[in-house]
Structure 1
């Protein structure tokens, strides 16, 4: 259910031409930092390479960030916003009617698998780059652990709404989440067609319900 993202901002670090370069606002700097993080790792995320990539002077950087550390703090916030926005949307709103909740949960589980397959709203490359950064920084490691816990809670909510007991839903959520991380970590390559074809069977096995 995974493969590399086709998001333009996740492409390996490429120099932006003056003609194609967007307005250099804070988000442009963060996208450039993300691209370097994915391509080269956290140690390469520095002002000089970012300015060179964007083909602008370093002074522009300091309109948006006091220093490199402030950029790194913003980058981890950017990750939680960009990569978790679609996932959070899958558990909101939460209907009061049990039958409506169950039906909506089935739909959301299908949408979740499609989210992992498509990867335009959830970038596996960005996620893996952040996790590699966490290996070197204890504060980032703690942040990643907290985000993982929140994501699993979102998935657990879907399974609870499908009618599974809370304890069972937690296990199902962990299996689904760790299974997906395993895909990313092992670098399994499958075509989008294969993943789409296999998705219904994954859903049935993971949910215990024929969807």
Structure 2
């Protein structure tokens, strides 16, 4: 999948905000990796000068930090919030969580995991994200009456399957994937 960049006309560049840089940074990260998230090439893609970048960020490191925080917000905080707002019992929440999780193509997740392999700060953040996601999922399984051990095993099974799918990069068609995740939900929530 190639990135489609929004080209900004010079007269529109004053409307360019910090979020535009973050969004482009996420796209570049997903397609080419963290080493390609560079100021000058991104400024060219946005059709602005490097000065536009420095209006919003002190340096590349600040942009990279903003990209990570945006990702955490979108792919962890927002998803948990959506599940909680939707409500329902724990089984309903789990199914909705599974359905939301498969809507992501996993490219940014995979790129961040690759980045974390060579950056201890990113690895620490990723470990915190993994723990938060697993803890939330485990809590829902606990609410279904599973023991703490059973709840954690189930949380890990579904989470590791999804992360593995992102890492391997194989995805079935959306309707097939939805059927799969619903079957996973049925299997993991069944109490025999």
**Do residues 18 (structure 1) and 9 (structure 2) align?**
yes
Distance 1:46 1:164 in 2: 47
In 2, Cα distance between the equivalents of 1:107 and 1:90?
12
User: Which of 3, 9, 34 is the matching residue for 2:26?
Assistant: 34
Tell me the SS of whatever aligns to 1:118: coil
The residue aligned with 1:174 is: 156
2:165 equivalent in structure 1: 183
Retained in 1: the 8 A contact 2:9–2:47? yes
Report the counterpart of residue 54 of structure 1 in structure 2. 46
Are the structure 2 counterparts of residues 117 and 209 from structure 1 closer, same or farther at C-alpha, using a change threshold of 3 Å?
Answer: farther
In structure 1, C-alpha distance between the alignment counterparts of 2:25 and 2:172, rounded to whole Å: 28
Match of 2:99 among 114, 127, 147: 114
Tell which has more relative contact order, 1 or 2 (C-alpha 8 A, sep 6+). 1
Change (3 A) 1:82 1:200: closer
Find 1:89's aligned residue among 74, 77, 81: 81
Preserved CA contact (<8 Å) 2:39 2:60: yes
Separation of aligned partners in 2, 1:131 and 1:152: 16
Change (3 A) 1:27 1:17: closer
Which blocks of at least 5 consecutive residues in structure 2 are unaligned? Answer: none
Shift of 1:134: 0.6
- CA contact 2:29–2:36 (8 Å) conserved in 1: yes
1:105 corresponds to 2:90: yes
Per the TM alignment, residue 33 of structure 1 is displaced from its structure 2 partner at its CA by: 0.8
* Structure 1 equivalent of residue 66 of structure 2: 74
- C-alpha displacement of 1:63: 1.2
TM-score where L is the length of structure 2: 0.88
Identify the structure with the greater helix proportion: 2
Normalised TM-score (structure 1): 0.81
Q: Is the 8 A contact 1:14 1:53 kept in 2?
A: yes
Could you say if the C-alpha distance between residues 16 and 209 of structure 1 is closer, same or farther in structure 2, counting changes exceeding 3 Å? Answer: farther
Please list every run of 5 or more consecutive structure 1 residues that lacks an aligned counterpart in the other structure: 5-10, 94-100
